[in-house]
Amino acid sequence: MRIGFIALLSLLLIGCGQQASDSSQSAAEKQQTFEWKLVTTWPKNYPGLGTAPENFARRVEAMSAGRLSIKVFGAGQLVPAFEVFDAVSQGTAEMGHGAAYYWTGKAKATGFFTSVPFGLNAQEMNGWLHYGGGLELWRELYEPFNLVPFAGGSTGVQMAGWFNREINSMQDIKGLKMRIPGLGGDVITRAGGVSVTMPGGELYTSMQTGVIDATEWVGPYNDLAFGFHQVAKYYYYPGWHEPGPILELIVNKQALASLPADLQAIVESAARAVNQDMLDEYTARNNTALVELVETHGVDVRKLPDDVIAELRRLSAEVLEELAEEDELSRRIAESVKAFQKQATAYHGISEEAYYQARKQ
Ligand code: CA
């Protein structure tokens, strides 16, 4: 008892000392203000994807009482969409918002941190990143690029995409020119298709002019905003390639280190808040957008045939196995995701999945 009491007293005293030094430190630090730039891969204020970084900047500004103000730039305003990674790495901008799988040219394993085909859903991705060791691996991967990543939003399970060709068998994927980045794109290539990566802002015209035959983007809420129903015949599900994609907020390492501890904590907390907020928004808005696509615009919504799904799943496993062979870090990431997914599948089988079934009956 006595030892416990003394230990507690010591902790309290240490706590007070810490507090005293913190407040004297913050007096000087509170004079200091920071003005940051945040570049994104999305059109300025694009619903959800583009409004999330604005929401992040607003929260940071409010929480820091204006000590850290962040100006958000849409794709092409300061740098083109696909130069966000380099711009933040080199310090042209302090922060960026986009998706890790746009950077597979920098490191193949970035694909793991957006979405793995037939992998984790949004809930599971968040669990893996924040409580399953995922974020530490992501930071290790980005370290050589001078970047610190944070989860920066999730769209939930996506749609397989918009197609101007019916998909009745794997034969229909042969020669299909589809915009599909990351590991999903590797699977389409392996299936005999041609995968293309291009920013969202270019997709409508590319579909309209036949530069591509198909595109995945997000789901009803975002796809309606781009008007893909005007340039595509079929809307296929499920989003086998992106079951729970996580977006990223990346911060230049020196810029983050230059902030006082309280502002660093604000950046972290605002990122965490925006990450959840986006998923909440998509959960609500995808439902209403789907109704509008079907009832107002008469969109032909179709399920990919079961045998096509099975074959894509087989090819995905091959792609993942090869990726794990790339290097030692890729192997550790692959093993971490695989172990997490095994346990999540087992438990979610008797919780989430069992509940969805039960709700239908
Ligand atoms: Ca997508």
Give every residue of the chain whose pLDDT is below 50, as ranges. 1-20
| Ligand 1 mean position, distance from CA 332 (Å) | 25
| Ligand 1 mean position, distance from CA 312 (Å) | 16
| Ligand 1 mean position, distance from CA 180 (Å) | 7
- pLDDT for residue 20: 46
| Ligand 1 mean position, distance from CA 11 (Å) | 49
- pLDDT for residue 23: 55
- pLDDT for residue 8: 46
| Ligand 1 mean position, distance from CA 159 (Å) | 8
- pLDDT for residue 115: 94
Residue keyed to tokens 């990919």: 304
| Ligand 1 mean position, distance from CA 218 (Å) | 4
41, 65, 138, 273, 277 from 38: Cα distances, Å: 10, 19, 20, 17, 19
| Ligand 1 mean position, distance from CA 253 (Å) | 27
- Give residues whose Cβ lies within 5 Å of ion ligand 1: 158, 216, 242
Angle, vertex CA 44, rays to CA 130 and CA 83, nearest 5: 70
* Count of C-beta atoms within a 10 Å radius of residue 6: 10
- pLDDT for residue 24: 55
Contact present, 246 and 114 (Cβ < 8 Å)? yes
Assigned token pair, 356 = 């969805």
Q: Which amino acid is at 144?
A: P
**What whole-number distance in Å separates Cα of residue 57 and Cα of residue 170?**
45
| Ligand 1 mean position, distance from CA 20 (Å) | 49
- pLDDT for residue 26: 63
| Ligand 1 mean position, distance from CA 99 (Å) | 9
**What whole-number distance in Å separates Cα of residue 148 and Cα of residue 324?**
23
The answer to whether the predicted template modeling score (pTM) of the entire model surpasses 0.75 is: yes
**What whole-number distance in Å separates Cα of residue 275 and Cα of residue 259?**
21
| Ligand 1 mean position, distance from CA 150 (Å) | 19
Is the domain 33-154+244-283 a CATH 3.40.190.170 member? yes
